[in-house]
Amino acid sequence: MSGVPGNHMRRIYADNAATSFPKPPCVLEAMTRYAEELGASAGRGAYREATQTGELVTRCRHRLARLINAADARRIIFTLNCTEALNLAIRGVLSAGDHVVATRFEHNSILRPIQDLAAHGVTATFVAVDRATGAVAPNDLIDAILPQTRLIAVQHASNVTGVVQPIEPIIAAARERGVPVLLDAAQTIGHLPLDVRALGVDLLAFPGHKGLLGPLGTGGLYVGPGMEDRLRPLVCGGTGSASEQPTQPTFLPDKYESGSHNAIGLAGLSAAVDWLLSRGVDALRAHEIELCRRFLERVGGVDGVRLFGPRVPSGRVAVFSVRVDGLGPAELSALLESEFGVLTRSGIHCAPWAHETLGTAADGGTTRLSFGPFTTATDVDACVDALADVASPTATHTSNR
């Protein structure tokens, strides 16, 4: 084996689909500045520190709106993560008697809220996808729309195979039928250029800690025009506004933002989004496509390694699921870390039906490698070399061969 175990081994972070690392230095700097100089809660006082915290939160909202081309920054609703944003959208729109359409490749953050609502009179159709890539045929999803369909929920890009779904025709057809679309942008915001006005998307959920390069505990939901009349808040309480009223405010964003903000997290997220804007998502996407091309070309020539998902770089994000003959996913991840310093995620990736579709659910799922803006071509080569070494018939590691 070519790896050299030990504390001095270079460690290669290949788990950006879970959370991005490293973060731009400005993220920690902004969080430290908030902790040392402000420390207040936005909207909970008229003193300078509280006012400046409110300005910080507003600035983050405006930067996010600019990133996704939202016309009104108040339509960016802050949540603690993408899961909370998806729950707000799904539970806030659907009621007993309603029908929702999704795919069988969704993350549990879509599957579980929908399944939970089934006990409360909501019905669902989960559309099958291509077994090799996870891509949905737009017509299959559109054909699943019923008279009582009130929502289509779809993951923009798979956290298992990296496939980018063909959302444009889906959104266009749904709009013709008056059905709102919820887009789960967990794996695409910050990776792909997103224009909510050009797409015509009604709801877009996103995490702050993945492609946006912010800290954990941040995320949000974009609420398109008119959706505030259809979307119920999940939580009611103090907003720092209209405090004389015992009822929840009806104006944005306060209708959906009860309780104190994660101000220190939003300070970091704001700095991260500013970093993204300064570099341009188009440029970052070009870098990612080159990483995808390099990985696909090199891993395709490695015997004993099976890759799942699209083979065309432009049709995916840099999320790759692999299996190595004779090794379980957890064992492969352990070997990649201990012998090569490559950090991956193995298992079902919170997407059980996706792995059922791929045929990998029964034996532990896959090992996933995912790259970010700080991943280099050298890192990609090291990942492929490690996979090739582990898959070699002459490998000397302990395995279940």
Active centre residues (catalytic): 350
Q: Give DSSP secondary structure letters for 25-74.
A: HHHHHHHHHHHHHT-PPTTS-SSHHHHHHHHHHHHHHHHHHHHHT-S-GG
What is the tally of helices (H) and strands (E) in the chain?
12, 13
Distances from the Cα of 330 to the Cα of 58, 291, 301, 304, angstroms: 43, 24, 23, 17
Residue type, position 257, single letter: E
Per DSSP, 205 falls in state E
Residues contacting residue 88 through CB under 8 Å, at least 6 positions apart: 77, 79, 205, 221, 231, 233, 234, 256
R_g of the chain computed on alpha carbons: 22
Q: In terms of Cα–Cα distance, which of 308, 257, 327 is closest to 58?
A: 257
Burial of 72 (0-12, 13-18, 19+ CB in 10 A): middle
Q: Which two tokens stand for residue 281?
A: 């998502």
Greatest C-alpha distance within the chain: 74
Q: In terms of Cα–Cα distance, which of 82, 65, 16, 75 is closest to 274?
A: 65
Cα–Cα distance, 380 to 298 (Å, whole number): 9
Q: In terms of Cα–Cα distance, which of 173, 153, 176 is closest to 89?
A: 153
Burial of 190 (0-12, 13-18, 19+ CB in 10 A): buried
CB contact at 8 A, 337 and 343: yes
